[in-house]
Amino acid sequence: MFVSCTFIIIIVTSIISYASFKNENFKNQLLFSPFEYSNNKKWWIILTHGFIHADFLHLFFNMYVLYIFGPSLESYFISSSEIGWVYFLSFYLLGIIFSTLPSIFKHNNNPNYRSLGASGAVSSVVFAYIIIFPLRELGLLLIPGVFLPGFIFGVLYLVAEHYLSKKQYSNIAHDAHISGSVFGIFFILAYDYKNLLIFFEKVVYYFQNF
| CATH for 29 | 1.20.1540.10
Tens digits of residue pLDDT in 31-45: 999 999 988 888 999
In the prediction, which pLDDT does 61 show? Answer: 93
In the prediction, which pLDDT does 145 show? Answer: 66
- In three-state secondary structure terms, 209 is coil
The answer on pLDDT for 91 being more than 60 is yes
The answer on pLDDT for 51 being more than 80 is yes
Please provide the average confidence, as pLDDT, over all residues in the chain: 90
Tens digits of residue pLDDT in 196-210: 999 999 999 999 987
In the prediction, which pLDDT does 165 show? Answer: 78
Q: Are 97 and 103 in contact (CB under 8 A)?
A: no
For residues 44-60, give the mean pLDDT. Answer: 94
- Does the CA dihedral 95-117-17-125 come out positive or negative? negative
Name every residue whose Cβ is closer than 8 Å to that of residue 176 and which is 6 or more positions away in sequence. 99, 100, 102, 103, 115, 119, 120, 123
The answer on pLDDT for 169 being more than 80 is no
Give the DSSP H/E element, type plus range, for residue 173: none
pTM over 0.85: yes
Number of domains the chain is built from: 1
Residue 137: beta bridge partners?
A: 149
Tens digits of residue pLDDT in 111-164: 888 899 999 999 999 999 999 999 998 876 555 667 889 999 999 999 988 888
In the prediction, which pLDDT does 108 show? Answer: 85
In the prediction, which pLDDT does 1 show? Answer: 45
Give the residue numbers spanning the domain of 178. 5-208
pLDDT band at 63 (very low <50, low <70, confident <90, very high): very high
